[in-house]
Structure 1
């Protein structure tokens, strides 16, 4: 993978870590919070998407509509699956299983279904990144947790949805040659519209959520689309089988920052995992 593309994906990983850390400061209703930053992100991205159309870089055709609709549906399925897993099992089981299994499933499907070809060194790098992520997150079953086997199932299901939207987005961007800004803006708009009825049923919570969580909403609304637009841009020039594990280095960035910001433990283990991830990044870069 070209060094410039690696830099783009790592920038996306840093942006992803920033918005995930900001979301930890959320205090009000989760549905209203997600809906609010979806709407804000759509408002920010729509001008970029429209500008691509005005400039003639993207036509408002069936491919853009279908691509954005499928992407929005897959992202919503991902969100619902993840939330269902969190409701039924421990976050410490679901999250690492999901984020660790997703790049492996993506890489496997990209090779088998999309016909991507990877060098042995690139495969080694991807595996090192996944291994480093598992070192950072630690053993999800170490404390027994509640329903660890159920958490494993929900984590794997969540990882499958992540792989699904990653593969679809890669296909839409590369095979249909859709402009990332227009494509993602359309998906965000549809996600916002779909969540609006749920938010309106909580209309009495909207004012308090916007007032209390204004800063996290703005940060997530800016950095979440920035992170994924960078990923979509990287998919135009690099195999999704390598982009997927590389973008998951955001977990390492977020975990190291969490040690400092939230005084979480296991700093040495997380640092060791970060070193393994860096080795994987170096292998992919070569």
Structure 2
């Protein structure tokens, strides 16, 4: 992978860990996630006004991806309701690189070298191992965390194919995110009503900032997938668990054990192999 793509993806990983920490630290995570999506919608629509229309080939994938993102949002929020950031985040993010590599091979005909494949496996194994406690995978929200990983794989491959067909990473990202940002508030209103969404709460500004971070982070990832293998990009993005582990330790009162640090070392080795 080109060195600039590696650096951009690692930067996106840092941003991704940041907005997940903001979501995990919120009192009402469904509301926080929806406010994030509102921020995504507002900024995306504003940018779209200055861009050429999305190519016809990309629209179908943008719509499908937006729907998959809403499913991802709902599963992620549910997983955070019962588990720590340091447990649910690794399960969701660690399961996705291998799934994406397999799906990209089937649906996009991608092939990765043995070195990169070994790196992807090491990253996934290292990430998932962060969720273990005393050799046990005791995660209360395990089904939702795994479901989140499946949604990540589904929308990542969808976007990887869609952005290549559209030939315009920025345009595709903006329109897909605009659709996603509009759909999620619609789902929230259906569940709780418009008044609940529009009522001012103390965490509004932080949630809005989190939305901007998520837009920038995923925009970088879509750009990277337009010219690099999806599985490799995904594995590099999931190094965000390293940042999440540190954020959880310093700001959310979660533990950082020797075992977790060893897992982080495995992830770092896998990252080097991918690079």
The answer to whether residue 173 in structure 2 is matched with residue 187 in structure 1 is: no
The answer to whether residue 205 in structure 2 is matched with residue 215 in structure 1 is: yes
Verify the 8 A CA contact 1:235 1:243 in the aligned structure 2.
yes
The counterpart of 1:225, out of the listed 189, 206, 215, is: 215
Residue 102 to residue 143, structure 1, CA distance change in 2 (3 Å): closer
Give 1:83 deviation, angstroms.
4.7
- Under a length normalisation based on structure 1, what TM-score does the superposition of the two structures give? 0.83
The answer to whether residue 230 in structure 2 is matched with residue 240 in structure 1 is: yes
Verify the 8 A CA contact 1:13 1:250 in the aligned structure 2.
yes
Following the alignment from structure 1 to structure 2, what is the Cα–Cα distance between the partners of residues 140 and 190? Answer: 42
The counterpart of 2:129, out of the listed 118, 130, 135, is: 135
The residue aligned with 1:56 is none
The answer to whether residue 80 in structure 2 is matched with residue 80 in structure 1 is: no
Residue 120 to residue 268, structure 1, CA distance change in 2 (3 Å): same
Following the alignment from structure 2 to structure 1, what is the Cα–Cα distance between the partners of residues 205 and 79? Answer: 27
The residue aligned with 2:31 is 32
Q: How many residues align?
A: 272
Give 1:36 deviation, angstroms.
1.9
Following the alignment from structure 1 to structure 2, what is the Cα–Cα distance between the partners of residues 145 and 20? Answer: 18
The counterpart of 2:108, out of the listed 109, 114, 117, is: 114
The counterpart of 1:196, out of the listed 177, 180, 185, is: 185
Larger radius of gyration: 1
C-alpha RMSD over aligned residues = 2.6
The residue aligned with 2:246 is 256
Q: Which moved more, 1:193-202 or 1:37-46?
A: 193-202
Q: Secondary structure at the match of 1:229?
A: helix
Following the alignment from structure 2 to structure 1, what is the Cα–Cα distance between the partners of residues 174 and 69? Answer: 13
Structure 1 unmatched runs, 5+ = 54-58
Structure 2 unmatched runs, 5+ = none
Verify the 8 A CA contact 1:93 1:155 in the aligned structure 2.
no
Verify the 8 A CA contact 2:166 2:172 in the aligned structure 1.
no
Residue 132 to residue 231, structure 1, CA distance change in 2 (3 Å): same
The answer to whether residue 8 in structure 2 is matched with residue 8 in structure 1 is: yes
Q: Secondary structure at the match of 1:195?
A: helix
Give 1:61 deviation, angstroms.
4.2
Residue 276 to residue 191, structure 1, CA distance change in 2 (3 Å): same
Verify the 8 A CA contact 2:123 2:266 in the aligned structure 1.
yes
Following the alignment from structure 1 to structure 2, what is the Cα–Cα distance between the partners of residues 230 and 154? Answer: 26
Residue 139 to residue 73, structure 1, CA distance change in 2 (3 Å): same
The residue aligned with 2:48 is 49
- Under a length normalisation based on structure 2, what TM-score does the superposition of the two structures give? 0.86
The counterpart of 1:69, out of the listed 63, 71, 84, is: 63
Following the alignment from structure 1 to structure 2, what is the Cα–Cα distance between the partners of residues 37 and 95? Answer: 18
